[in-house]
Amino acid sequence: MPAIHLLNPFEVEELEYRHFERIRYFVLDNIFLIVEGLNSRLNIKQDWYSQFIATKSNKASDLESGAERIFHHVFAHGMRSPNSSPIGADLMFETYDAFIHIDIKTISDSNWGDYRGKVVVEPNQTSYPLDSKGAKANLPMFYSKTFSRNGAIYYKPCLTYFVYVLHQHAAKRIYSILLICMPNGSLYDYYGDGIIHAGKNKGKNVRFAFRKSPIFELLSSPENVKFRIEFLWKDKGYTQDELIGIREELLKIPVWIEQ
């Protein structure tokens, strides 16, 4: 049998960035339909709001369940091979050269401060080591399925992305929609434990502090920075620092649509 190889760290980042661009395309190509869909809950707010508050709180995101339906509809038209693995993110797809996990995260402005520049990551959503915070990643760095390139055979890497929606509680305003790529676990030597923060309870609600490492470290140069986070949608009434805790004079994150 021919030898099966692992991609080196630079090659993993290349794939992460390539699929980052692909996901960005799908979202931007449908962004106004997405925003309309996210706000569709408000057309029937009187039918669900009192029940929602009775079981949650005004700090909970009222988009937590509904946003996933909207984005699933969008990605279903572009990602042709969903995977039914019980261990994975909200959305999981197989491509020619990777397994892609996309989790939809939402947070309301009533709970904004706790998550500025951070996103909750569950063990079933990442291959990145979480041991420093008392948790364990459940995804493999590389899957057992393979692909071929330039005459060699490689294991398909696990790639993790978040679409992160910050919105006004039970109202129409969307402050930002971020696309975020969390490093594959094989990149731990380059990103370390600094990008992993603890939640309020040890081992639970571990957070990926994307503000600590917002660029693809191996792909970027001073002349050509490639970002692990981008604003697909941004409210022009708020600064980048207010939204994600990164001062613009230090690093300007790309913004695709600002309204």
Give tens-digit pLDDT for 202-226. Answer: 667 799 999 999 999 999 999 999 9
The Cα–Cα gap between 79 and 223 comes to 32
Q: Which residues pair with 103 in a beta bridge?
A: 162
The pTM assigned to this predicted structure is 0.96
Give tens-digit pLDDT for 73-95. Answer: 888 877 879 999 999 998 999 99
Residue 46 lies in a domain: yes
Residue 66 lies in a domain: yes
Residue 225 lies in a domain: yes
| Residue 145 pLDDT | 97
CATH number of the domain where residue 40 is located: 3.40.600.20
| Residue 78 pLDDT | 77
Is the predicted pLDDT of residue 251 greater than 70, yes or no? yes
Q: Is 177 helix (H, G, I), strand (E, B) or coil?
A: strand
Q: What percent of the chain has pLDDT over 90?
A: 85
- Core vs surface per residue 134-149: b (16+ CB within 10 A) or e: ebebebbbbbeeeeee
Give tens-digit pLDDT for 123-177. Answer: 999 999 999 999 999 999 999 999 999 999 999 999 999 999 999 999 999 999 9
Is the predicted pLDDT of residue 58 greater than 70, yes or no? yes
Is the predicted pLDDT of residue 57 greater than 90, yes or no? no
Residue 250 lies in a domain: no
Give tens-digit pLDDT for 10-19. Answer: 999 999 999 9
Do the strands 91-94 and 4-5 form a parallel or antiparallel pair, or are they unpaired?
A: unpaired
Nearest residue to 45 via CA among 171, 205, 211: 171
Residue with tokens 């693809």: 216
Residue 60 lies in a domain: yes
The pLDDT-based confidence of 59 (bands split at 50, 70, 90) is confident
Residue 75, domain extent: 4-244
Q: What is the average pLDDT value for the chain, to the nearest integer?
A: 94
Residue 22 lies in a domain: yes
Q: Do residues 96 and 225 lie in contact, with contact meaning Cβ atoms separated by under 8 Å?
A: no
How many CB atoms neighbour CB 12 within 10 A? 23
| Residue 203 pLDDT | 60
Give the helix ranges, DSSP H, for the chain: 9-29, 31-38, 45-55, 66-76, 188-191, 240-244
113, 118, 129 from 157: Cα distances, Å: 34, 24, 15
Name the domain count of the chain: 1
Residue 167 lies in a domain: yes
- List CB contacts of 197: < 8 A, sequence separation 6 or more: 118, 133, 206, 207, 208, 209
The pLDDT-based confidence of 35 (bands split at 50, 70, 90) is very high
Residue 254 lies in a domain: no
The Cα–Cα gap between 121 and 1 comes to 38
